[in-house]
Structure 1
C-alpha cells in the first residue's frame, strides 16, 4: 500500500505539478487546510505538503495546533514557500521541512522521501491504526501525574477477538482494529478536542485520557456506536445467529458470541497515583470488572484510599 500524502494549495497549477511529481504516492488534494482536517483526523495520512503564503496566519495556527497535539504531533509536514517568504522563528511555524517554490520541482520528491523515512525511524506509532504506542502512552500518563493534573485513564479491549480472527482471518481482524481506533479517536476528540489523548497499546488494547467529568459519557457513546458497527464485520449467517463457531485456546471447536468491548476507567480525583504503572493497574482491574458484565460495558473506579468500595 502506497504512503498517503495530503497536498494543500489554492494554486491549481502548483497542485497539478505536485500530483505529477508525487504520483508514486496516494495523493489527496485540498484547496485549504480547513477542508483537509476531516481526512487528517479520521485517516491520518503519512505526510502533509502545504503551500504557505504571507497571509496564511490561520493555516499556521492550525499547523501549530496539529504539531502540539499528542496524537497528530508526529505527522510530518512540509511547507512550500514563495521565494520572498521569511520565517522569523521556527518556533512560530512547526513544520518538519520546507522547499522554496523555485526549487520545488527539483527537490520536493527527495524531501518527501526523506520525511517519510525519518518518520519511519523515529515515530513510535502503531503501523495499523497510526495511533501513538506504549512509550508515548506511558509518557502522557506520567507527565500528567508529575504536573498534578486531575484526569481519567480508560483502558479498552475487545472480547472474543481471537476467535473472530481465527475464523475470518487477520485481514478482517485488522479492519476491526482500525475501526475501533477511528471510533475511539473520533468520539474522544468530539467530546474533548483539547487536552485529550488516544493511544494503541497493541493488538486489541487501546487507551484514552480525558477529563474525569467527560469520561463516562464518552465510554457510553463508544459502546453505543461500537454495538451498531461491529456486527457488519460478520457474515450474514453469523450475524443473524449472534455467534460464530471457532476454536478456543486449546484448539477445540466452540461457539462464541459476537465481539464486545470492555472499558476500565481509573482516575485520580478520589485517590492519588505516584507512578503511571499504578494507574494502569487500576484501569486494568476495572476492565476485568467490566468483562464480568454481559456484553459491552465499562466500569469506573470510585474508591478512595480510605474507602475500598467498587461501583
Structure 2
C-alpha cells in the first residue's frame, strides 16, 4: 500500500457513528502518516475542531445531531478556518436529491459505500491540494501575506472603517534560542489560538486573522471593539505564556540566552506588543500606508518591557 508523501504527519478528525466506515478510514494510512481523532457526534467535535484545527475534517452527512454538510458550512463560515479542507461522506440518495456545493463549500466527498483505494486516493488528493495553497502559513494554517494584503486593500477600496492590529512577540528569539524550534513553534501556535479565539469572541463577520510569518500576526476588527480585544488578548497571553518556560526560569521571571550580537544576557518572559492602525472615513489609500504607520507604533510598543498595545490616536475617531 502506497502512502501519500506529506511533509509531516497529518492530524485529521473523523465524525461518524458508522463503525464500519470508521474502521475503513482508520486503516487507510499508517499512524505515522495520518493520525485520526474520532467523534460520533458533531456537537462533540466542533469545540475541539475550533481550538485545535486539524489538517483535514471528514464528516458523515448521515449524522443525527448536525449533518456533515452543516458542519462543513459552519467551518467555512469562519474566516480563519476557510482554508481547512473538509470532506463529506455521502450516501447516494443525498446526491440524487441534489446538493448545492456553492453553499456547503466542502472540498470533496466520498460516495458511500466506498472502497479503501478510492478513499485513500481522494483523501490524499484533498490534502495535497490544500498543501499547494502556498498562501496559508504552514504552522498556524492562518491566511498569509497575499490574503492579508488583499483583505486590507479591499477594505480600503470599499472605504470601510476598520482597525488593523499588528501583533509581535517580544523576546521570542531568545526563547527560541534557549528552548529550541519545537517549543518555539508551540508558543507560536498558542499565540495564534489566543488571537483567533479573542477575535471570535466578539462575533460578526467583519473580522480577520492572518499570520505574516514567524512571530508576526495581524487581525482586523470593527474599530469599536479593537481596544477591548487588545486588552483581552494581552490578559490571556500573559496568563498562559509563563507555562511555556521551565520552572526555574518561570520563578526567576527571566532566562539567559544569546542576543543578536552573540553575547549571553538575560531576557524577560515573552510579552506581546500590538500596534493598531485605523482606517476611518477613507483615511487610508493603500495597504502600504497601514504598514508604515504600524512600524512606527511597534517601535513605541517595544520600548515597554511588558505586554502592551499602542493606538494610532490620530485616526481612531471612527464612527461607532
Question: With structure 1 as the length reference, what TM-score do the two structures score?
Answer: 0.90
Q: Secondary structure at the match of 1:191?
A: coil
Aligned twin of 1:9: 16
2:129 is aligned with 1:118: yes
**Which of the residues 26, 44, 47 maps onto 1:19?**
26
Map Cα deviations across residues 137-165 of structure 1 (whole Å, 9 max, x no partner): 11111122222221111001111111121
User: What are the superposed Cα offsets for residues 98-128 of structure 1, whole Å, 9 maximum, x if unpaired?
Assistant: 2210234341111001111111112521111
Q: Which runs of 4+ in 1 moved over 6 A?
A: 54-57
Conservation of the 8 A alpha-carbon contact between 2:17 and 2:40? yes
**In 1, are the aligned partners of 2:257 and 2:267 still within 8 Å (CA)?**
yes
What is the CA-CA distance between 1:12 and the residue it aligns to?
A: 3.0
Residues of 1 paired with 2:263 and 2:38: CA distance?
51
Would you say how many aligned residue pairs link Structure 1 and Structure 2?
306
CA contact (8 A) 2:159 2:281 kept: no
Q: Structure 2 CA distance, aligned partners of 1:112 and 1:304?
A: 48
1:175 aligns with 2:196: no
- Structure 2 counterpart of 1:107, from 92, 110, 118: 118
User: After alignment, is 141-150 or 62-71 more displaced?
Assistant: 62-71
2:45 partner SS: helix
Give structure 1 stretches of 5+ with no counterpart.
Answer: none
Q: Is the 8 A contact 2:91 2:113 kept in 1?
A: yes
- 2:142 aligned with 1:135: no
Report the CA distance shift for 1:267/1:125 in structure 2 as closer, same or farther (over 3 A): same
Range that drifts further, 204-213 or 104-113: 104-113
- Does the CA contact (< 8 Å) of 2:279 and 2:315 recur in 1? no
Residue 221 of structure 1 pairs with residue 228 of structure 2: no
RMSD: 2.3
Are the structure 2 counterparts of residues 153 and 80 from structure 1 closer, same or farther at C-alpha, using a change threshold of 3 Å?
same
| In the alignment, structure 1 residue 204 sits paired with structure 2 residue 209 | no
**SS of equivalent residue, structure 1 residue 102:** coil
Structure 2: how far apart are the matches of 1:23 and 1:181? 29
Structure 1 position 252 matched with structure 2 position 263: yes
Query: Is there any run of 5+ residues in structure 2 with no aligned partner, and where?
Result: 1-7
Which deviates more, 214-223 or 193-202? Answer: 193-202
Q: Is the 8 A contact 2:42 2:66 kept in 1?
A: no
Asked if residue 238 in structure 1 is aligned to residue 249 in structure 2, the reply is yes
Equivalent position SS for 1:128: coil
